[in-house]
Structures are given as C-alpha cells and as structure tokens.
Amino acid sequence: MERRRLLALAAVGLGGGAAAGMRIIGGTEAEAAVSSFDEVYKGRRIQGPSGVAAAGVHAAHQTVLIDGRPLRLMHHGGGIVSVVAAFEPRDDLRAVARLAVDRLGGAPLARTER
C-alpha cells in the first residue's frame, strides 16, 4: 500500500495534477482520477490540478501556474492560500488561482525560486 501512496504523490507532484492517480481520503487510499484545469480567467491563463490540495498532497507541492509562472501555495486556516492572498483561504486550487488573479489585477506574478 505504501508504494501506491508514493506513486500517487509523484503523479500529482510531477505531473502538475494532470496525470491519473490516487487520492488519500481520511487516511485511507481510494482510486480516483486527478483532473486539472487550464482556463483563461479575466485575461490570465491559470493552470493546475483541480480539487483540494489536501487530497493527499501538501499545498506547497501542488503546481498552480498563472501565465506560466508558479504561484506559491500553502495551507493556512483550514484552507489553501497563496503568497498573493495570504490571509484569504480557499477550499480548492482553482479558487486560489482565481483569487490571486483578482488580487494581482494587471500586474504580473513575480518570479520565485523554489
């Protein structure tokens, strides 16, 4: 079972969530397809895995892009926040990306080194 969990984490972390994988729910493993989003929101392209970052992978290991640049994420206050909106938690990654676009306005997302 541990091997399956590691494969799920690798699929989500390396594939940006676009690959099929598993999700850890309440400490148990369940087969699930990990979907992704790729859309234009208010003129900005946002991409990333759909759903809640807490689904088996820490938010910091999820990849969400705004115009091709990575948005830094973290868990906070029972939700997920970004460096752009650090005190406004959201339940899913698409909502976090959209909120970041709202807060950025027309400004580009600064490049960050990981």
Domain count, the chain: 1
Instruction: Find the CATH number of the domain harbouring 47.
Output: 3.30.1880.10
In a domain, 83, yes or no: yes
Q: Give all strands (DSSP E) within the chain, no chain letters.
A: 21-25, 28-32, 36-41, 44-49, 65-66, 69-70, 73-76, 79-82
In a domain, 60, yes or no: yes
In this prediction, residue 50 carries a pLDDT of 77
SS3 86: coil
Residue 99, in any domain of the structure: yes
In a domain, 94, yes or no: yes
Distance CA 5, CA 80 (A): 22
pLDDT tens per residue across span 52-85: 654 455 655 678 999 999 999 998 878 899 999 9
Asked if residue 6 is part of any domain, the answer here is no
| 12 within some domain | no
Residue 40 lies in a domain: yes
- What stretches of 1-114 show up as alpha helix (H) in DSSP? 2-14, 93-104
Domain region containing 65: 35-104
- With beta carbons less than 8 A apart as the criterion, state whether 52 and 93 touch: yes
Question: Which residue stretches of the chain have pLDDT < 50?
Answer: 1-33, 54-55
| Rounded distance between C-alpha atoms, residue 25 and residue 11, angstroms | 16
